[in-house]
């Protein structure tokens, strides 16, 4: 995976992993100040899907989330913890989780929010999509059967608008490009040149979707119901929105420029 794993990250995980006969799938849950949510999320995931392990990736939460995660790992061998020295963003947390999962011999990694927005009952359907041939299964809010509950109108408009803008600029067929509930085959992730990823916030999800499309991965969207967080404050802020807008615009201009050059080289412009 990444050639430069975080040398300062530490783990309180129990020994073992998929390579030693436990399970082939790991659910990565990044945390920062999620003490009020993490135990409920972990319990629901373990109960609802017995064939998965869990990796909590904590960015030194000042509210004690990391200590609670350690306690959960002490009580349950299927729970592991990766401690990181400071808050470095969603993208860095998932890249660290991918490295950890690959090193431990897992074959599948699932991204899941800690705050209860993602229903663990949907885990089996995401994993089933991989069993049926997908390289990436996306829990989609915006295909038939999917929906969003309890979001304020401005959040819904921002999410739908970001998706429309991204699909138009990059020519993507994926309906929920910003979705954060998704499952990857580890061998497919290795095709995405993760060592060049520098997206920090939720733009990370767009980034990897775009890379997956360009790499020719098989992507399947699975409908889910997304529910606003149970407790705590959203991590969404202006800087995250600006990063996504800047990166998508840059990628889109480069993509359309390449299309134009190819078309001019063949003497016609593609639709």
3-state secondary structure of 213: helix
Concatenated DSSP letters for 154-194?
HHHHHHHHHHHHHHHHHT---S-TT---EEEEHHHHTTS-G
Q: Where are the alpha helices (DSSP H) in the chain?
A: 38-48, 65-75, 90-104, 123-131, 153-170, 186-189, 203-214, 238-265
List, in sequence order, every residue forming a beta bridge with 81; answer none if it has no partner. Answer: 56
What's the pLDDT at 232?
55
Pick one of 3.90.550.10, 3.40.50.150, 3.40.50.300, 3.10.450.50 as the CATH number of 10-265: 3.90.550.10
d(CA 184, CA 97) in angstroms, rounded, equals 12
Are 147 and 111 spatial neighbours (Cβ–Cβ below 8 Å)? no
Whether the Cβ atoms of residue 2 and residue 95 lie closer than 8 Å to each other? yes
Q: Is residue 241 within 8 Å of 166, Cβ to Cβ?
A: no
Residue 229, classified by CB atoms within 10 Å of its CB into exposed (0-12), middle (13-18) or buried (19+), is middle
As beta bridge partners, residue 79 has 54
- pTM equals 0.85
For residue 267, the model assigns a pLDDT of 56
Q: What is the pLDDT of residue 244?
A: 80
pLDDT at residue number 254: 87
d(CA 130, CA 18): 17
Contact 19, 64 (CB under 8 A): no
List of residues 6+ apart from 216 with CB closer than 8 A: none
CA distances from 247 to 17, 44, 162, 217 (A): 35, 35, 12, 21
What is residue 238's predicted lDDT score, i.e. its pLDDT?
61
C-alpha distance across the termini of the chain, in Å: 36
* Boundaries of every domain in the chain: 10-265
| Residue in 106, 104, 116 with CA at minimum distance from that of residue 51 | 106
Q: How many CA atoms lie within 13 A of 225 on its CB side?
A: 6
Ranges of residues in the chain with a pLDDT under 70 are 1-23, 229-238, 240, 266-271
Q: Which pLDDT score is estimated for 7?
A: 41
- How much is the pLDDT for 17? 42
What pLDDT score was predicted for residue 258? Answer: 84
Contact yes or no for 46/119 (Cβ under 8 A): no
Buried b (16+ CB within 10 A) or exposed e, 85-95: eeebbbbbbbb
**H/E run at residue 36:** none
What is the rounded CA–CA span in Å between residue 19 and residue 31? 25
């Amino acid at each position: 995976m990444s050639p430069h794993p975080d040398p300062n990250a530490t783990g309180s995980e129990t020994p073992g992993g998929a390579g030693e006969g436990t399970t082939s799938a790991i659910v990565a849950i990044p945390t920062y100040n999620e003490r009020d949510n993490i135990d409920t999320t972990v319990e629901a995931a373990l109960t609802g899907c017995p064939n998965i392990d869990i990796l909590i990736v904590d960015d030194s939460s000042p509210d004690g989330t990391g200590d609670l995660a350690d306690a959960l790992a002490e009580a349950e061998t299927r729970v592991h913890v990766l401690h990181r020295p400071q808050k470095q963003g969603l993208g860095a947390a998932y890249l660290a989780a991918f490295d950890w999962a690959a090193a431990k011999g897992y074959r599948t990694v699932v991204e899941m929010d800690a705050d209860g927005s993602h229903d663990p009952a949907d885990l089996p359907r995401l994993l089933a999509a991989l069993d049926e041939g997908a390289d990436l299964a996306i829990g989609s809010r915006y295909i038939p059967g999917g929906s969003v509950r309890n979001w304020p109108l401005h959040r819904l408009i921002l999410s739908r608008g970001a998706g429309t803008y991204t699909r138009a600029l990059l020519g993507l067929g994926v309906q929920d490009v910003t979705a954060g509930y998704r499952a990857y085959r580890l061998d497919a992730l290795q095709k995405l040149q993760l060592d060049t990823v520098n997206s920090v916030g939720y733009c990370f999800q767009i980034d990897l979707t775009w890379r997956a499309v360009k790499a020719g991965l098989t992507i399947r969207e699975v409908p889910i119901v997304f529910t606003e967080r149970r407790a705590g404050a959203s991590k969404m802020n202006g800087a995250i929105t600006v990063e996504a807008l800047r990166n998508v615009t840059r990628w889109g201009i480069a993509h359309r420029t390449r299309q134009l050059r190819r078309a001019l080289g063949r003497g016609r412009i593609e639709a």
